[in-house]
Amino acid sequence: MNKTKAVTGLAALALMAGLFSGCTSGNNNATNAAATNAGGSTDTATEATAAPEGDAAKDIKGDITVITQRTDIVDTVFKEYAAKFNEKYPNIKVNFEALSNYEDQIKIRMSTNDYGDVLLLPTSIAIKDLPDFFEPLGKKSELEQQYTGLEERTVDGISYGIPITVNFSGVIYNKKVFQDAGVTEVPRTFDQFSAALKSIKEKTDAVPLYTNYASGWALTQWEADLATVAGDREYVNIGQVASDDNFVPGQPHYELYKVMYDAAKDGLIEEDPTTTDWESSKADLASGKIGTMMLGSWAIGQIKGLAANPDDVGFMPFPTNADKILVPLSDDYNLGISIHSKHKEAARAWVDWFINESGYPTVEGGGMSPVKGAELPEILKQFEGTDITFDTLAPAKAGEEGWVDAIDKEAEIGLWQPDFKKVIIEAAIGNRKQSYDDIMKELNDKWKAARAKIVSAK
Amino acid sequence: MPKLSNLSYKNQRILIIFLFSLIPVALLVTFSYLPVFKMFQYSFTSWDGLSKKMEYIGFDNYKTIFTKPEYFAVFKVSLYYFFATFVQMGLALYFATILSFNVRMKNWFKGILFFPTLLNGVAIGFIFLFFFKPEGTLNTILDLLGLGALQQKWLLNPQLINVSLAFASVWRYMGMNFIIFLGAISSIGSEIYEASDIDGANRWHQFRHIILPSIKRILQLNLILAVSGAIGVFEIPYVMTGGSNGSGTFVIQTVDVAFKYSKLGLASAMAVVLLGIVVLVTILQRILIKEET
């Protein structure tokens, strides 16, 4: 709107362009590194660094940098981890770096060679490109004996990351609010859930369903419940890819977001979604000002931490009309090692120790440990012996890996982006002329066109 | 050892000029020209921003942009900022004129008006997010003034959201316009005002016949910058709403395409198109303004 604005506009362009150019300069170097590495991924697998056990542990030396997304505990809990780690590996010095907006910042860092030794694999990087950036951790067939959840970040049978925790997704709710509203039984179907929200609205002062619209990312949490709505662990990676009708009535996506639309339309969400605040929403759920929020298990610990009575915070599966209730388990971020690390053995030692011995997956991560045979977290024990099953998603068919993502990006739908969820809420509260069916039709058209393009290209 | 003084005066001059411009030119090339050049290059690829492979696809990205109307629909939003530009320049000119005369606590007012320009855009976004909340500052003030009936959900109402955002933008950038106008007005000699006083001119006459003609050039410059700025609006809506609820602009869309959908090639092409539009508008304005004078 004036000089500075014009400058800002240009600066934004220049900034973006700068990012791009930064990417190439790093790109060339990395290409060389990748070329030497790409000698055959099977070779590299056998060369995967593995940390020795016992006395040999004392011999590993090195100074490693661990990059994490946990800005909240990097100076407290992580420092304690480092101290414990040093009891076993006295000659490794661990430095931490925490990024507040992990996904975006690390992607830019990764265009250089300097992105720490141990880091979380960004979810937005294409799976097939992982070998260019990360050290192989071993053959999946071998690592599988020890860990679950490896299939999400595996290329050609080689694993590049181990999940820091395994999440389950669904509805986090305040039991006290449900009680006050007279809802005694945990709602299971769409109708029961919607009835529960309505009674909360009528009988209490709480917001029945808080969307966290303004934060954006919180809306993407809904997508994780797709498998529950489908009631089928194969739907997400296999069924979806095989279908041209991903967003038509009766299909899981349609039913899933219909819950969101109906709640918003019936005034069961917050008064002004455009100005919601994530941090305060956690406290509000804990104190009973909010009835439900759609989140992953990772949030349970954070919300309980703010509650006067932590037992009020409960978890239930997303409502579904499927025959059985499936709560999908999915990886949180995967932990991996930079291909440019100078102390790969030391880095590997940290990865193994962090997953197996630090206690992070269940305590701080709030989900299940990826280590096979590990104990279930407390909150899940209530579901033992019920008809609710917890299961990982079936991986894509061979040769179709990454198709969901490729179609999604090509179509600019954004399954894991907030955009169309925001549109749904805007339409539901009357800010847009589109109906729910219009939105779904538009998405389906995009899906269909992009799917045709991706399928024919492969 | 070669000495500078051995060279002729002319060569010394050339050498020194060259040496002094080396660093700024290097910075300019590294951070302005090279990125723009790269941007053009990427706009012909289907690169995702990270992958090692970069595929050249010719003009496909441009074809995509110009065949899909939704990419241009967002320019509608720019109109709000375009109209706000005139409010902003009007206010800036008004304050600059008043404060160029003798006013009590002149410097204090100047400071207040210029202050928002010093603040970080992200901070301003957050300030106004609280300002526009349903139980936020603006509605509270309206209530205190007995104007409770005017209370609104400023960012929820699709008719108001862009007006609210444009308002925040005006608040932020007005100070910059103001200081430029003030500088231009200060350069007018005081004897002209004295002479006009003797002739019996009032403040309005002085403004109309002395100030306005004297700062015409600056006015034009500010207008050009403001209009091209309105086309490239980014910060305020991005921080405050992320472009949701119908407040998305072309730059926000570009950033989304690049970083949400990992289509850096397409985003580069969009950036090139935006650059083209800004250049075009600027040239057009210059021609039109020249004709007027």
User: Looking at the complex, does the CB of residue B273 fall below 8 Å from at least one CB of chain A?
Assistant: no
Phi/psi of residue A183, nearest 5 degrees = -90, 105
pLDDT at A55: 61
pLDDT in tens, A258-306: 999 999 999 999 988 888 888 889 999 999 999 999 998 888 888 988 8
Give me the pLDDT at residue B260, please: 83
Confirm or reject contact between A195 and chain B (CB < 8 A).
no
Is the ipTM here above 0.90?
no
- CA–CA distances in Å: residue A44 to residues A144, A204, A267, A347, B274: 18, 60, 56, 17, 45
- Whole-model pTM over 0.80: no
Q: Do A12 and B251 touch (CB under 8 A)?
A: yes
Residue A10 has pLDDT above 50, yes or no: no
pLDDT in tens, B128-157: 988 988 888 898 899 899 888 888 888 888
Q: State percent of chain B over pLDDT 70.
A: 99
Number of H helices, E strands in chain A: 18, 14
Asked if B116 is an interface residue toward chain A (Cβ–Cβ < 8 A), one would say no
Say if residue B69's pLDDT is above 70.
Answer: yes
CA distance B230 to B281: 11
Identify all chain B residues contacting A21, using CB atoms and an 8 Å cutoff: 34-35, 38-39
pLDDT at B1: 67
Q: Which of B34, B50, B75 to mutate to test the interface with A (most CBs of A within 10 A)?
A: B50
Residue A326: strand pairing partners: A389
A contacts of B222 (beta carbons < 8 Å):
2-3
What is residue B150's predicted lDDT score, i.e. its pLDDT?
82
B-proximal residues of A, 395-454, CB under 8 Å: 409, 412, 414, 417-419, 422, 426, 429, 431-432
Are A431 and B246 inside 8 Å of each other by CB?
yes
Per CB-CB distance under 8 Å, the chain B contacts of A104 are: 259
Task: Say whether A13 and B39 touch across the interface (CB within 8 A).
Answer: yes
pLDDT for B230-255, tens place per residue?
Answer: 888 898 899 888 888 888 899 999 98
Can you give the pLDDT at residue A175?
93
Query: Quick check: A136 and A41 in contact, CB under 8 A?
Result: yes
| Interface list for A 20-49 with B (CB within 8 A) | 20-21, 23-24, 27, 30-31, 34
Closest CA to B248 of B88, B78, B27, B22: B78
Query: Residue A187, CB half-sphere, CA atoms under 13 Å: how many?
Result: 28
Q: How confident is the model at residue A400 (pLDDT cuts 50, 70, 90)?
A: confident
Report d(CA B224, CA A406) in Å as an integer. 42
Task: Report yes or no: B155 at the A interface, CB cutoff 8 Å.
Answer: yes
| Record: contact A422-B244, CB cut-off 8 A | yes
Beta bridge partners of A337: A118
Across the range B259-274, mean pLDDT stands at: 90
CA B36 to chain A, closest CA, distance in angstroms equals: 6
Q: What are B143's two structure tokens?
A: 């209530």
The structure tokens listed for B82 are 């375009």
Q: Tell whether A124 is within 8 A of chain B (Cβ).
A: yes
